[in-house]
Chain A
Amino acid sequence: MANILNGTLSQMNLSEILKLLISGSKTGRLELSKDEKKGDIYLKDGAILYAKWNNKSGVDALYELMTWMNGDFNFVPDASINNLTGDMFDMGIQNIDEWSRVISEEWSSIRKIIPTTDVVFKITANKTPKEVNLKAEEWKVLANINGAKSVEEIAQCIGLSEFDTSRIICRLCKEGLIEETEKPKPMSNEIVNGNFFPLLEEALTKFMGPMASIIVDEKTKMLKYERNAFPKSKLAKLIEHISNEISDESKRVSFQQSMLGVIKNI
């Protein structure tokens, strides 16, 4: 079946995509992916009937997916909703405005403290916080706050979503336990040299043609770095994001293989 709608969530957010599918009375499966995470939302005649992410389904999964700020989406029309397990939305959801509003309000409150998930926090040294009770997940986050790991890295380490991790960090911050600190700047020997990006573009051009340069720029900016100050530690992540743009599995792995060779020699 031909795909009629695909792209990245940074270009079009999930609520906009869902509104489009609902208004067009579409039936099918909206596939969402971010790094190695995958989620699905099923629609029938313009109503959301089912959502799944990780081991969650129903409201929990839809809520989680709605919080994604980046990742890829792909709509597969006419996908069957048979054989699905977990919570179904009996009445179907056709109005997602309320969902978008709640999530957007939560995000904007989080953004006041965590403008991007690239921000780094450290344990407060000078203030004495009052007695605080922490839940297990909050303790896990706090144990990972070390003045070096970003919010995104902490989320990855403990296996929580960026949204949930950000929410916990906001609370820890408000309680006076942690505070934002400057991200450690990469030393000059930790920055990739000028030869890397031309090599990357050359390799990508073989698979993506003239779009290569635009994709490299877009993904570099997405990671909040510039070409002339790109840390070596983020190279694999950049390659991974870029290779997700190559839809053919065999070509994608070939690109990854050629770039792994380059990374090792840097």
Chain B
Amino acid sequence: MKDKLEEINSIAGVMDSVLVNKNGSIVSSQKSPYLTKGILESIGREVMQLDTTIKYTGEDIKGFDLLYDYGRVIVQKGNDFYLIVLCKSSVDTSLLRLTLNVVLKDLNEKKDPKGHFGIKMFNRT
């Protein structure tokens, strides 16, 4: 799993990527020179709450892209997890999206011995 995050982090402009479960807890992350575990957990919880709020409106989206003055947070939803990528505005979004699609497919298909992750394909709506 770490190698998948490493693949994402190797893209120019990506600051960090983290995998959180549907409770907002970190499942896997790279050792980031920028962000502490506490900050990543806080981002994970925010993402989970945002997704829950969106679901209340009757929408079910496959991810979101949050733009800030100093960068962006791109979130892709897996079966039982969120893949969160923190990056600079200058990131090649096409390359990032292609990589995330491939990584997400791999993660969704990955069988976790503890059964924490789903093994179904990620459904695009």
A residues with a Cβ closer than 8 A to B are: 35-36, 83, 85, 156-159, 233, 236-237, 239-240, 243, 249-250, 252-253, 256-257, 259-260, 263
B residues with a Cβ closer than 8 A to A are: 57-58, 63, 65, 67, 89-90, 92-95, 97-99, 101-102, 105, 121-124
10 contacts between A and B (CB under 8 A): A156-B93, A159-B65, A236-B94, A236-B95, A240-B97, A249-B123, A249-B124, A250-B105, A256-B101, A259-B98
Q: Is the CB of B92 within 8 A of A236?
A: yes
Would you give the shortest CB distance from B99 to chain A, in whole angstroms?
6
Q: Is the CB of A253 within 8 A of B101?
A: yes
Would you give the shortest CB distance from A34 to chain B, in whole angstroms?
13
Residue of B nearest to A52 (CB): B59
Query: Which of A83, A233, A243 is within 8 Å of B92, CB to CB?
Result: A233
Chain A residues within an 8 Å CB radius of B101: 252-253, 256
> Known interface pairs A233-B92, A249-B121, A250-B121. Does A239 touch B98 (Cβ–Cβ under 8 Å)?
yes
Would you give the shortest CB distance from B116 to chain A, in whole angstroms?
22
Q: Is the CB of A260 within 8 A of B121?
A: no
Chain B residues within an 8 Å CB radius of A240: 94, 97-98
> Known interface pairs A85-B58, A249-B121. Does A256 touch B98 (Cβ–Cβ under 8 Å)?
yes
Q: Is the CB of A157 within 8 A of B90?
A: yes
Would you give the shortest CB distance from B45 to chain A, in whole angstroms?
22
**Once the chains are docked, how many angstroms separate the CA of A156 from the CA of B13?**
14
Query: Which of A85, A159, A239, A260 is within 8 Å of B67, CB to CB?
Result: A159
Q: Is the CB of A260 within 8 A of B93?
A: no
**Once the chains are docked, how many angstroms separate the CA of A2 from the CA of B15?**
43
Main secondary structure of the interface of B (DSSP, over half): mixed
Q: Is the CB of B123 within 8 A of A158?
A: no
**Once the chains are docked, how many angstroms separate the CA of A257 from the CA of B100?**
10
Chain B residues within an 8 Å CB radius of A85: 57-58
Q: Is the CB of B124 within 8 A of A83?
A: no
Chain A residues within an 8 Å CB radius of B95: 236, 263
> Known interface pairs A36-B65, A249-B124. Does A260 touch B98 (Cβ–Cβ under 8 Å)?
yes
> Known interface pairs A157-B90, A249-B121, A249-B123. Does A36 touch B97 (Cβ–Cβ under 8 Å)?
yes
Query: Which of B65, B92, B99 is within 8 Å of A260, CB to CB?
Result: B99
Which 9 A-B pairs have CB atoms at the shortest separation, nearest pair first?
A: A236-B95, A236-B94, A159-B67, A237-B94, A240-B94, A257-B102, A157-B89, A253-B105, A256-B98
Residue of A nearest to B68 (CB): A159
Q: Is the CB of B102 within 8 A of A253?
A: yes
Residue of B nearest to A256 (CB): B98
Query: 9 extra interchain contacts, Cβ-Cβ under 8 A, other than A249-B123, A256-B101?
Result: A36-B97, A157-B89, A158-B67, A159-B67, A249-B124, A250-B105, A252-B101, A260-B99, A260-B102
